[in-house]
Amino acid sequence: MKEYLILRIITKLLLPFILLFALYVQFHGDFGPGGGFQAGVIFAAGFILYAMVFGVQAAQRILPDGILRAGIAGGVLIYASVGVVSMLLGENYLNYSPLAQDSKEGQHLGIFLVELGVGITVASVMMTVFFTFSAWRED
């Protein structure tokens, strides 16, 4: 990709905005359209763009396999453990009310953590799938 100067420069310029927009969509999913899934997909799309223009090796130096696989499992773990914490605090599974003083604050915190878990898993899975497809050798 050494010849594609315009692609490389534009990607370098755009990438921080794409990742920032993904974080915005993740954390403002309560007040506007958005949430975990959309944020995870946009985050993965930013990194996939980087990998397409600069090579998969360069992208894997930033996010090696181990981190991605930890992300895939970690998101589900965060989600499930929010439910377990709720159970340990006395209520039913995935009832967010006991997580904070006020029941409404507890719900807000529970929704935040759960969407975070979803976003991490979705982003890691999309990136892993792309890297796996691009490393496949036919022999």
Partner 1 sequence: MEEAIDIILLALMCVTVIAIVVMRNLMAVVALGGIFSLLAASVFVLLDAVDVAFTEAAVGAGISTMLFVATLALTTRIEKRPVHTPVLPLFVVIVTGAVLIYGSLDMAHFGDPNATAMQHVSPYYLENTKKDTGVPNVVTAILASYRGYDTLGEVTVIFTAGIGVILLLGSWRRGLTPPPPHSDPREGEEEA
Partner 2 sequence: MDNFFNLYNYWIVIFLAMAGLYIVIARGNLIKKLVGLNVFQASVFILYISFGKVIGGTAPILEKGIKVYSNPLPHVLILTAIVVGVATTALGLALVVRIRKEYGTIEEEDIHSQDESM
* Binding interface with partner 2 (CB under 8 A): 31-33, 37, 122, 129, 132-133, 136, 138
Q: How far is the CB of 12 from partner 2 (least distance, A)?
A: 28
The single-letter code of the amino acid at 116 is: L
Which residues bind to partner 1, rule: CB under 8 A?
A: 25, 29-35, 37-38, 41-42, 44-45, 48, 56-57, 60, 65, 69, 72-73, 75-76, 79-80, 83, 93-94, 96, 103-105, 107-108, 110-111, 114-115, 117-118, 121-122, 124-126, 128-139
